[in-house]
Structure 1
Amino acid sequence: MNKIRNTNLTIQIITMTILGVVIGASFGQYLGFLDVLGEIFLRLIQMSIVVLIMGQIIEAVGNLNPKGLGKIGLKTFGLFLFSSLIAAVIGVTAGTVFNPGSGVNTSSMDVSGEAFETTSAGTIPELVLDFFPTNIFNAMAEGIIVQVIVFALIFGIALSFVRIEQKENSILEWIKQINAIVLKMIGLIMKLAPIGIFAIIVSTISKMGLSVILPMGKYLIVYGFATAMYLLIWFIVTSIYLKVSIIQLTRNMIEMSLVALTTTSSAITLPTALHDSKEKLGISDRIAKLVLPLGMSLNSNGSSMHMAITIVTIAQIYGVTYQMSDFVYIVILSTMASLANAVVPGAGLVSLSIVIPSMGLPIESIALFAGIDWFVGMLRTVLNVDSDTTTALIIAKSENELDYDIFNR
Structure 2
Amino acid sequence: MKLKKMSMTVQIMISMVIGVIVGVLSEGEITGIKLLGDIFLRLIQMSIVLLVMGQIIEAVGSLNRKELSRRGAKTISIFLGSSFLAALFGIFMGVLLKPGNVSNLSSLTNGVDIDTSNIGSVSDTVLRFFSKNIIQSMAEGDIAQIIIFAVLFGVALSYVRMEQDNDKVIGLIREFNKIILKLVLIIMKIAPIGIFSLIVSTIGKLGIGVILPLLKYLEVYGIGTLIYLIAFTVFVSVYCKINIIKIIKGMLQMSIVALATTSSAITLPTEMKDAKEKLGISERISKFVLPLGMTLNSNGAAMHMAITIVTIAQIYGVNYSTGQYFYIAALSTLVSLSNAVVPGAGLVSMAIIIPQMGLPIEAIAVFAGVEWFVGMLRTILNVDSDVFTALIVAKSENEIDYGVYR
TM-score by length of 1: 0.96
8 Å CA contact retained: 1:303, 1:338: yes
Letter in 1 for 2:54: G
* In structure 2, distance between residues paired with 1:359 and 1:187: 26
The aligned counterpart of 1:105 is: 105
After TM superposition, where is structure 1 displaced by more than 6 Å over at least 4 residues in a row? none
Name 1:26's counterpart in structure 2: 25
Cα deviation per residue 1:151-194 (whole Å; 9 max; x = unaligned)? 00000000001111111111111111111011111111111011
The answer to whether the 8 A contact 1:136-1:151 is kept is: yes
Identify which range, 44-53 or 19-28, moves more after superposition: 19-28
**Residue equivalent to 1:265:** 263
Q: Tell me which residue corresponds to 1:42.
A: 41
Q: Structure 2 matches for 1:319-398, cutoff 5 A?
A: 319-398=317-396
Shift of the alpha carbon at 1:107?
3.1
Identity %: 56
Tell me the equivalent position of 2:157: 159
Residues 325 and 232 of structure 1, relative CA distance in 2, 3 Å threshold = same
> How many correspondences in the alignment?
404
Q: Mapping of 1:391-406 within 5 angstroms?
A: 391-406=389-404
Distance 1:237 1:76, change over 3 A: same
* Among 270, 273, 298, the residue aligned to 2:296: 298
Structure 1 residues 362 and 244, CA gap change in structure 2 (3 angstroms): same
CA distance in 2, matches of 1:34, 1:292: 44
- CA deviations on 1:66-105 (whole Å, 9 max, x unpaired) are 4554211111011101110111011111111111111142
Residue 8 of structure 1 pairs with residue 10 of structure 2: no
What runs of 5+ residues in structure 1 fail to find an aligned partner?
none
Which residue of the partner structure matches residue 76 of structure 1?
75
Aligned residue for 2:128?
130
1:47: how far off?
A: 0.1
Q: Partner of 1:233 in structure 2?
A: 231
Task: Give 1:168's aligned amino acid.
Answer: N
Report what 1:115 is aligned to. Answer: 115
User: How far has the Cα of 1:370 moved from its partner?
Assistant: 1.2
With normalisation by structure 2, the TM-score equals 0.97
CA distance in 1, matches of 2:394, 2:28: 60
SS of equivalent residue, structure 2 residue 269: helix
Q: Is the 8 A contact 1:13 1:197 kept in 2?
A: yes
Give, as a single letter, the amino acid of the residue that structure 2 aligns with 1:159. L
Task: Compute the RMSD of aligned alpha carbons.
Answer: 1.5
The range that moved more, 140-149 or 22-31, is 22-31
The aligned residue for residue 194 of structure 1 is 192
5+ unaligned residues in a row in structure 2: which ranges? none
Query: Is residue 276 of structure 2 the alignment partner of residue 278 of structure 1?
Result: yes
> Using the alignment, how far apart are the partners of 1:308 and 1:257 within structure 2?
23
SS of residue paired to 1:345 = coil
Helix, strand or coil at the partner of 1:30: coil
Amino acid at match of 1:31: I
Q: C-alpha deviations, 1:133-159, integer Å up to 9, x for none?
A: 000011111110000000000000000
Counterpart-to-counterpart distance in 1, 2:184 and 2:29: 31
- Contact (CA 8 Å) 2:108, 2:316: kept in 1 or not? no
Matching residue of 2:240: 242
2:22/2:200 contact within 8 Å kept: yes
1:303-330 CA deviation, whole Å, 9 max, x = no partner?
A: 0001000000111111111111110110
Q: Distance in 2 between matches of 1:316 and 1:66?
A: 45
Q: Aligned equivalents of 2:242 and 2:226: distance in 1?
A: 20
